Amino acid sequence: MISLNRKGVLGGDILKFYITTPIYYVNSEPHIGSAYTTIVADIIARYKRFMGYDVFFLTGTDEHGQKVLQAAQQAGKDPQKFCDELAEKFKQLWKELKITNDHFIRTTDETHMKTVQEFVAKMKENGDVYKGVYKGWYCVPCETFWNEDEVVKEGDERLCPECRRPVKWVEEENYFFRLSKYRDALLKHYEEHPDFVEPDFRRNEMLKILEGGLKDLSITRTSFKWGVPMKDDPEHVIYVWVDALINYVSAIGYGWNEEMFNRWWPADLHLIGKEINRFHSIIWPAMLMSVGLPLPEKVFAHGWLTVNGQKISKSLGNAIDPRFFVKRYGNDVVRYYLIRDIVFGKDGDFSEERLVHRLNSDLANDYGNLLHRITAMINKYFNGKLPSPANEEGPDGWLKERFFETKNAYYDLMDSYRLTEALDRIWEFIADANKYFNDTKPWVLAKEGKSERLGTVLYNSLEAVFKVALMTLPVMPDTSQEVFRRVSFDENPHRNHLETWGVLRAGRSVHHGEPLFRKIDTKTFKKVVETVSVEQNLITIDDFAKVDLRTARVLEAEKVPNSRKLIKLIVDLGTEKRQIVAGIAEYYKPEDLVGKTIIVVANLKPAKLMGIESQGMLLAAKAGDTLRLLTVDGDIAPGARVS
């Protein structure tokens, strides 16, 4: 067997591999979309460990910023308590999904916050941070600043180019980072390191931004306090994205453990979603240049995940906890499906119908059934002991040749993060193994009493399945461990076991048992999205009791200037008058509203729309292009409780 050194390569120096996921916003609970990136990172980390690398796998939660603060306020909770609860949910989810991260960082960790202060102070010392006044558009949901030429203009509204939600105009004293200073250095780095950002089309998007020029970036806020204060000017809190990006170095010792930091930095792979590519591929590298640190080896920006063709959204009922899918189909099946059916790097759709098809076809038929047939015959004809291979014949050499071709392709594809293609290639080999088994006809060999040849065929067939279990170990760890148990392989699996044919030891027990995967009856199964979404959206009577619905008579109504959607209403609630702003101008004329008795949510926290305070919300029903206000049947006094 080929000698493999402790850290992974066949000879050579010690190798490390530092992989990160984005840190996830805690403004809402995790769902299958947020789990996708972490599962992919886990697969890559497991593969690198299998190859012998010393791996550090980082994930965590992003807990500062205006969006998180607003979510905490809406939940009626202290922001730290709110963050503590949601961070714990992410931790628990990763544990249940068997994610093998080495550290879980939170941006409210004291060590991280101190590192952020020191990092920004060093940027300032190097002349890259200055004070000024920011005037521009800001998207609270994306926590992103936009220039006038970047926002989307839709009628009188300005929308975020990323999420298409309204942005607000901000004018306040800020500190700025001289991002423009690093434009040429970044272009040079992209030229010298063509694989710095992948896939290629994401790299080209970043190059287009760089070639168009960079503007300095506002990096502090003074309008709220939920964040890391500037070291020498605590009235300013550091912009949430600057805070968040620094997690990649704070987690591994920057500023507090030099030996640890030097061991792991630079990161080998920042794994992110495409919507945050600009922050990771332009802003973060410029920040690192500012403090004199080497840049990460690679940023990989994968596509978005939808569910059954729809964007993941709580309101659509498809922002489902991935544990529901795991409970129904199994953790390995979900992991396999996410990588095999969704081409890694591109946008993809999570379809339960296709998941079930992959389970029934790829896993149960192609993989599991092959193992089942082999172990059944070994159990029947060799008393459950693995037979010894004898003289090689043509089909045996062909199978081995196909394996070594597959193995080499597997390395190349996994090393270049072409994960979907790697699984495609493995399944081609599974097809080869099935062909070998069927073409050699072991049942005929058994009938004819050709025991020696039968033993060779069954040995090679089981060795082929064993090799599949090794290659799929990063994707389906539980399944691979079950295969190892059935073939009595009790070593620590690593790359050496892929380098030669004939690792399984003749004479060892082979355990025939239940099929590896259970098929789903496609005629009777009910989708998780259909069953769980209903359960997740059910509320208790106590939940409903929190909503104060009242009748209200419209006294005045007028269009909001410079808006094509908004109408400002003055309504009578019996004991008081209220001002409500509603987006119904496309469906009702102001004069047609006066005198109507409508239903309003009376205990909704006030909000501002186009700078006008709205003290409640009216109820309306919409179907297609039709919208109708909810009114009452007959006369009733304003302020009557709806129950």
142 is in an annotated binding site: yes
Q: From CA 99, how far away is CA 101, in angstroms rounded?
A: 6
Burial of residue 314 (number of CB atoms within 10 Å: 0-12, 13-18, 19+): middle
List, for residues 596-633, the tens digit of each pLDDT value.
999 999 888 888 777 788 998 899 887 766 888 988 87
Tell me whether residue 163 is annotated as binding.
yes
- Average pLDDT of the residues in 206-223: 93
Average pLDDT over residues 65-75: 84
Query: Strand ranges (DSSP E) for 9-117?
Result: 16-20, 24-25, 54-62, 103-106
pLDDT at 514 over 70: yes
Per-residue pLDDT for 536 more than 70?
Answer: no
Give Cα separations from 534 to 317, 320, 327, 529, 537 (angstroms). Answer: 7, 10, 17, 8, 5
Q: Where does the pLDDT of residue 6 fall: very low under 50, low under 70, confident under 90, or very high at 90 and above?
A: very low
pLDDT of residue 169: 83
Instruction: Please tell me the least confidently modeled range out of 65-74, 80-89, 188-197, 448-457.
Output: 65-74
Q: Is 199 left (phi over 0), alpha (psi -120 to 50) or beta?
A: beta
Q: How far apart are CA 275 and CA 25, in angstroms?
A: 14
More confident residue, 535 or 439: 439
- pLDDT surpasses 70 at 69: yes
Q: Which pLDDT does position 316 carry in this prediction?
A: 54
Is 160 known to sit in a ligand binding site? yes
Q: What are phi and psi of 430, to 5 degrees?
A: -60, -40
Query: What is the longest distance spanned by two Cα atoms in the chain?
Result: 97
Over 60: is that where the pLDDT of 256 sits? Answer: yes
Question: Residue 246 pLDDT > 70, yes or no?
Answer: yes
Name residues whose C-beta falls within 8 Å of residue 174's C-beta, 6 or more positions apart in sequence. 131, 132, 133, 134, 218, 219, 220, 221, 222, 236
- Reduced 3-state DSSP string for 581-621: EECCCCCCCHHHHCCCEEEEECCCCCEEECCEEECCEECEE
How many other β-carbons are positioned within 10 Å of the β-carbon of residue 97?
18
Ramachandran bin of 155, using left for φ above 0, alpha for ψ from -120 to 50, beta for the remaining angles: left
pLDDT exceeds 70 at position 535: no
- Residue percentage of the chain with pLDDT more than 70: 93
Amino acid at 408: N
Residue with tokens 């070291």: 231
pLDDT digit string (tens) for 547-599? 889 999 999 999 988 787 889 999 999 889 999 999 898 889 889 899 899 99
- pLDDT for residue 512 is more than 90: yes
Q: Which domains does the chain have, with CATH numbers?
A: 9-128+178-303 (3.40.50.620), 349-509 (1.10.730.10), 541-641 (2.40.50.140)
Task: Calculate the average pLDDT of the chain.
Answer: 90
Q: Which long-range contacts (CB under 8 A, 24 or more apart) does 561-564 make?
A: 562/156, 562/610, 563/155, 563/156, 563/157, 563/610, 564/155, 564/156
Report the alpha-carbon distance of residue 529 to residue 351 in Å, rounded. 10
- On whether 83 is known to bind a ligand per the annotation, the reply is no
Summarize the confidence of residues 201-211 as an average pLDDT.
95
Between 35 and 427, whose confidence is greater? 427
d(CA 480, CA 620): 54
Q: Confidence band (pLDDT; 50, 70, 90) for 311? A: low
State yes or no: pLDDT of 522 exceeds 90.
no
pLDDT digits (tens, 9 = 90+) for 328-347: 999 999 999 999 999 988 88
> What is the tens place of the pLDDT at every residue in 166-198?
888 888 889 999 999 999 999 999 999 999 999
Which residue bears the tokens 């339960």?
A: 352
- Apex 587 CA angle, 586 and 591, nearest 5: 100
Residue 538 has a pLDDT of: 56
Task: Give the C-alpha distances (Å, rounded to integers) separating 239 from 230, 232, 341, 575.
Answer: 10, 15, 37, 43
